[in-house]
Structure 1
Amino acid sequence: MNQDFYVFLVLGLALVFANLPFMSQRVFLVLPYKGGIKPLWLRFAELLACYFIVGAIAKGIELSQGQIYPQGWQFYVVTISLFLTFAFPGFVIRYMLVRRT
């Protein structure tokens, strides 16, 4: 497989993982939340955990392809911004389009 496949794989995983916290009332899709509706801070904590999971997968893919290139702080600022941009559809659906009764 070529590198383009892995780039699109990581971007696709980031898109899916960024929207997971907004699609379920369960904590990490496993544990039920006892308080009823999951609060926004818990969704952001899950979003941060998903960011690190996707980052670990990407680093593993990079290691399988060769040497890992050292990154500066700018790389992480750009990737967290991209991850938050990917999470926008889930946020909009959860908090702006769904009517509460």
Structure 2
Amino acid sequence: MNNVYLLCGLALIAANLPFFFERIIFCIPAKKVKGFHWRLLELVILYVALGLLARVLEGRLSPVHEQNWPFFVTTFAMFIVFAWPGLVWRYFWRKSGV
């Protein structure tokens, strides 16, 4: 059960990371303000990384249960919902120049 809480906490943090950093893929400094397409790419990369971590944790406890596309669509939609606070902070709440 602790793995579930760990994954949910990591998902909340990972989903918001692209909106708090101005480096492209967290390592290349952006010359201007990082575009939304870079943030979306980082979001997908973090979703895949978190999914791989979840698969490893599941494999340590029991045989891995194979998933179909509805599972991935649902979890990606949840990941997007988790990203909502970062999106609001970046584009709606934050004052320009900060």
TM over 0.5: yes
Q: Which runs of 5+ in 2 are unaligned?
A: none
Moved over 2 A (4+): none
Q: Name the counterpart of 1:17.
A: 14
The one of 37, 40, 51 equivalent to 2:36 is 40
Q: Once the two structures are superposed, what CA deviation does each residue of 1:41-64 show, in whole Å capped at 9, x if it has no partner?
A: 110000000000100100010011
Q: Once the two structures are superposed, what CA deviation does each residue of 1:39-94 show, in whole Å capped at 9, x if it has no partner?
A: 00110000000000100100010011110001111101110000000000000000
Q: Name the counterpart of 1:94.
A: 90
**Identity of counterpart residues, as a percentage?**
36
Number of equivalences: 97
Query: Does the residue aligned with 1:95 lie in a helix, a strand or coil?
Result: helix
Find the aligned partners of 1:50 and 1:87 in 2 and give their Cα distance.
11
Q: How does 1:18-97 map to 2 (within 5 A)?
A: 18-34=15-31, 36-97=32-93
Q: Which runs of 5+ in 1 are unaligned?
A: none
RMSD: 0.9
Find the aligned partners of 2:66 and 2:22 in 1 and give their Cα distance.
37
Aligned-pair distance for 1:28?
A: 2.5
Find the aligned partners of 2:26 and 2:70 in 1 and give their Cα distance.
31
Find the aligned partners of 1:47 and 1:85 in 2 and give their Cα distance.
12
Find the aligned partners of 2:49 and 2:11 in 1 and give their Cα distance.
9
Query: Does the residue aligned with 2:3 lie in a helix, a strand or coil?
Result: helix
